[in-house]
Structure 1
Amino acid sequence: METLRIYLSTLSPPQQAQYAARARTSIGYLRKALSKGQRFDGGLVRLLHVESGGAVSLHELRPDIWPEPEDMGQTLREAVGALVDSRMSKRALRAKFGFKTDAPLAKLLKLPVEQVEAWPEEQGVPALPQVLRLLGVQETPPTAQDVPHDPDADRIINVEAA
């Protein structure tokens, strides 16, 4: 539950609602489940994991279904760290590199100065490839190994209601 709690804390309230909707649930249900320590359905756990880009741990939410990989702790810290860094404000990004104005930051990112100046000071910087590379976040497409195997996939059938 802790990885879900950490992941939700990195999102704004509207982003939390969007994340929950993508996982086919509501943010109210997730908050209630977190506060009561409820056990999530396996399908919901999988959606929470996939929609978070792997930041929410399958093993932590349902260890009876998904065993813990040996390197899970380090992977989780990297994923959450990348999320926090990619939501860095423009002011924090300038401070990180010691810039007082937007011009040197724009030059470093190889973007027009006007584009960088248009970004709000205290909101997260856009997740442009140049920004993500600068922050050390590397986007890798998911491989077949990254997608968890559902042991019940072959047992699911369509049911028609009368």
Structure 2
Amino acid sequence: MPTFTTILQKFGEKGDKTRWTYIEIPVAITDTLKPGQKTSFRVKGTLDNHPIKLIALLPMGKSVERITDGLEGGFMMPINADMRRGTGKSEEGETVRVSLEVDTDPVPQSIDLLVCLEDDPDALKHFNSLSKSHQNYFSKWIEEARTPETKADRIAKSLRGLAMGLDYGGMIRYFKKKE
């Protein structure tokens, strides 16, 4: 399992990742994990001694600045609030010890969603027609709810959107217009 030390970074005030906390994953590490990989993939391991799993590494892409700095391509790992709490580190510039390996475990589906889908044949049929990754969007959104009320609301919205033949993004946009 490759291990390295890196620093927490934050995106600036522009773009869709404004103020995200993240770490860069050196190309040498990603080439050890998945040689030649150019698209997102999931890893597990530790940040300091905090265990992580089912975490996506996202491609950084190419930019003039990165090529000039010798960092062409590469990946980044978003560091969410749970990971920051687990390491006790949240400030830009703090160092973190990282150990990673490819995570091939399946993403768990929301049991509550699956139970509710059994009562709605139209929603179930559309859900089953979606790829696993698109099914996972619904499950992850539902399971990330912090309160039972929010979870119930998300399940209801998911069922309605699926019954209407919408994918996850379409469902989110539909209900955003309604609010």
TM-score, length-scaled by structure 1: 0.27
* Higher relative strand content: 2
Of structures 1 and 2, the one with the larger relative CO (CA 8 A, separation 6+) is 2
TM-score, length-scaled by structure 2: 0.26
